[in-house]
Amino acid sequence: MNTAFFQREPEAADRERWRSEIAATPPSSDHAGRLVLFVFRVGGERFGIEPAHVELAALLPDIHSMPHRGASLAGVVNVRGTVTLCFSLADVLGCAPGPAADRPMLLVLAHGGWRVACRVDHAEGMSEFAQPDLQAPPSTLQAATHVKGIFESGNGPGVGWLDMDSLFEAFDAAAR
C-alpha cells in the first residue's frame, strides 16, 4: 500500500471543500437519541447490531462442522488465519424461515474479549434509527430474549436490536 499518498498534505482546494461540507452537516444536537446499527437478515427476520461489535462482514467461506455438538454451532471457519467458532444465528435466535439466501454472509462479532463468527442470510449495511422509536419486543417473538427492542422500519419487517450480553451468553451455551 502506498502510505505516502495518505501522509501527504491535502490540497488547499480539498481542504476548503471539506470545510464547507462539514459546516453544512446538521447541528450535532440532532444526533442525540439517534443510533446507527448494522442491519442484516436471518431467515424472515431482521436484526441490528452496533457497528462497534462487527469486526468483519465477508462472503460466507467454507464452514467445517463440529462433531458431537448441536445445530446452533454451525462449526468452525477461517477468519484471517484463525480458526473461529461459527454459530448459526437462525438456530440461536430461533428465526422463522424466510426467503432463501442469495448471498449468505459471514459476520465476525466481538464482545467482551470473545470473537465469534456467524452465518447470516443477507447483510444490508448501516441504518440509522431514532432511540424514541424503540418498541418493546412482542413476548411471542422467539428471539425476544436476545433483543433489546424493535425499530419499525418502512421497508420490510422491524429490526430487532440485539443485546450483545444476552446473545453472547447464548453463544457460550451453544458452544458447550
Partner 1 sequence: MRELFLAETETQCRVLSDGLVALEIRPGDPALLESLMRAAHSLKGAARIIELGEAVRVAHAMEDAFVSAQKGEVALGSSAIDRLLRGVDLMSRLASAESPAELQDEVEDFVTGPAGQDKASAKPGAAPATESSAPTAKADDDSRSLRVAAESLDQLLGSAGESLVASRRIRAFSNEFWRLHGHQRKTAATLESAIASASGGGDVSSSLRQLQTMVESGDRLVLASLAEFERFERNSAQLSQRLYGQALACRMRPFGAIASSLRRAARDTARHLGREVAFEVRGEGTDVDRDLLDKIESPLLHLVRNAIDHGIEPPAERAAAGKPAAGRVIIEASHSAGFLVIRVSDDGHGVDPAELRSRVVAKGLTDAATAAKLTGGELLEFLFLPGFSLRAEVTEISGRGVGLDVVQSAARESRGTVRISSDPGQGTAFVLQLPISLSVMKALIFEIGGEPYAIPLARVDRVMCVPAQAIESIEGSQYVNVDQSRVGIVDGAAILNRQLRNEPREQVDILLLSSAEGRFGIVVSRFLGEGEIVVQPLDKRLGRVRDISAAALTEDGSPMLLLDVDDFLLSVKRLAAGGQLQGITAKSAGPEKAARQILVVDDSLTVRELERKLLSSLGYAVEVAVDGMDAWNAARTGRFAAVVTDVDMPRMDGIELTRLIKNDARLRDTPVIIVSYKDREEDRLRGLDAGADYYLTKGSFQDEGLARAVADVLGEDPTP
Q: Which residues bind partner 1 (CB under 8 A)?
A: 61-69, 75-78, 81-85, 114, 116, 171-172, 175-176
Q: How far is the CB of 53 from partner 1 (least distance, A)?
A: 17
Q: How far is the CB of 4 from partner 1 (least distance, A)?
A: 14
Which residue's CB is nearer to partner 1, number 8 or number 68?
68
Which residues in 44-98 belong to E strands, given as ranges?
45-49, 54-59, 73-79, 82-88
> With 0-12 CB in 10 A as exposed, 13-18 as middle and 19+ as buried, what is 110?
middle
Q: How far is the CB of 25 from partner 1 (least distance, A)?
A: 37
Take residue 169 and report the three cell numbers written for it: 451468553
Which residue's CB is nearer to partner 1, number 63 or number 96?
63
Which residue's CB is nearer to partner 1, number 19 or number 64?
64
How far is it, in rounded angstroms, from Cα 36 to Cα 28? 14
Which residue's CB is nearer to partner 1, number 10 or number 61?
61
H or E segment and range at residue 167: helix 164-175
SS3 132: helix
Buried b (16+ CB within 10 A) or exposed e, 25-40: eeeeeeeeeebebbbb
Q: How far is the CB of 90 from partner 1 (least distance, A)?
A: 20
Q: How far is the CB of 171 from partner 1 (least distance, A)?
A: 8
What backbone phi and psi angles, to 5 degrees, belong to 135?
-115, 150
